[in-house]
Chain A
Amino acid sequence: GENVEQHPSTLSVQEGDSAVIKCTYSDSASNYFPWYKQELGKRPQLIIDIRSNVGEKKDQRIAVTLNKTAKHFSLHITETQPEDSAVYFCAAIQSSGTYKYIFGTGTRLKVLA
């Protein structure tokens, strides 16, 4: 069945350093890969997404890369700030009007001031 593995489960970085979270998916039909951020006590919110027709997408300090051959994608956060502290979830979806989101187990990122 579909599966998304996410690593690491926790990540601590110094403010200003970079953070990288990696996900691997099993369903080769997946072609939409969003990332959600969930701050403590709040709802998950989309921060960036990528579709399989591109290898990289960047939005200010956040970037996502995709390697379809290896079936993995990564979230990169540069110049981390304390407000980046949250749980981040990746997901892999077969984008054909289906909405069966398979999420990774999450990464708790702590940015130390």
Chain B
Amino acid sequence: KAGVTQTPRYLIKTRGQQVTLSCSPISGHRSVSWYQQTPGQGLQFLFEYFSETQRNKGNFPGRFSGRQFSNSRSEMNVSTLELGDSALYLCASTASGRDTGELFFGEGSRLTVL
């Protein structure tokens, strides 16, 4: 079974630009969540999607948005990039069930904003 795949793995942008990151979950997983990882801040929850609907959202500005497609693939978009947006963006998928379970992470997309 293929794992969670994120593209691109690395990217460099300049302030003011926008970026779109993609995440393909494990086959059969319908929940996809996104996290921002920075040194000292750990893993900060961005949002979670299930069946094309955003179920949960973290405390990030509106410049951060996402969506999920009917095949469960998800994208996140950051507009008007700021230097502080430089981070590793991780997505994770999980098998939906009655009880919350294990997150399976991708390798991440490392964004550098110059």
A interface vs B, CB < 8 Å? 1, 6, 32, 34, 36, 42-46, 49, 51, 89, 93-106
B19-27, B39-47, B78-86: which one contacts chain A? Answer: B39-47
Q: Check if B42 sits within 8 Å of A43, measured CB to CB.
A: no
Contact pick for B31, options A44, A46, A96, A99, CB 8 Å: A99
B94 contacts across to A, CB distance below 8 A: 99
Could you jot down 14 A-B contacts, CB within 8 Å?
A: A1-B59, A46-B102, A51-B99, A89-B43, A93-B100, A94-B100, A95-B100, A97-B99, A99-B55, A99-B100, A103-B35, A103-B42, A105-B41, A106-B42
Contact residues of A: prevailing secondary structure: loop
B59 contacts across to A, CB distance below 8 A: 1
Given contacts A43-B105, A44-B105, A97-B100, are A89 and B31 in contact (CB under 8 A)?
no
B14 within 8 A of A: no
A103 contacts across to B, CB distance below 8 A: 35, 42-45
Q: Contact flags (1/0) for B39-63 with A, using CB distance below 8 Å?
A: 0111111001010000110110000
Q: Which of B41, B97, B100 has the most CB of A within 10 A?
A: B100
Q: Check if A43 sits within 8 Å of B33, measured CB to CB.
A: no
B33 contacts across to A, CB distance below 8 A: 99, 101
B interface vs A, CB < 8 Å? 31, 33, 35, 40-45, 48, 50, 55-56, 58-59, 90, 94, 96-100, 102-103, 105-108
Q: Check if B48 sits within 8 Å of A95, measured CB to CB.
A: no
Q: Check if A100 sits within 8 Å of B45, measured CB to CB.
A: yes
A106 contacts across to B, CB distance below 8 A: 42-43
Instruction: List the B residue with the shortest CB-CB distance to A107.
Output: B42
A45 contacts across to B, CB distance below 8 A: 105
Distance in angstroms between the alpha carbons of A98 and B57 in the assembled complex: 11
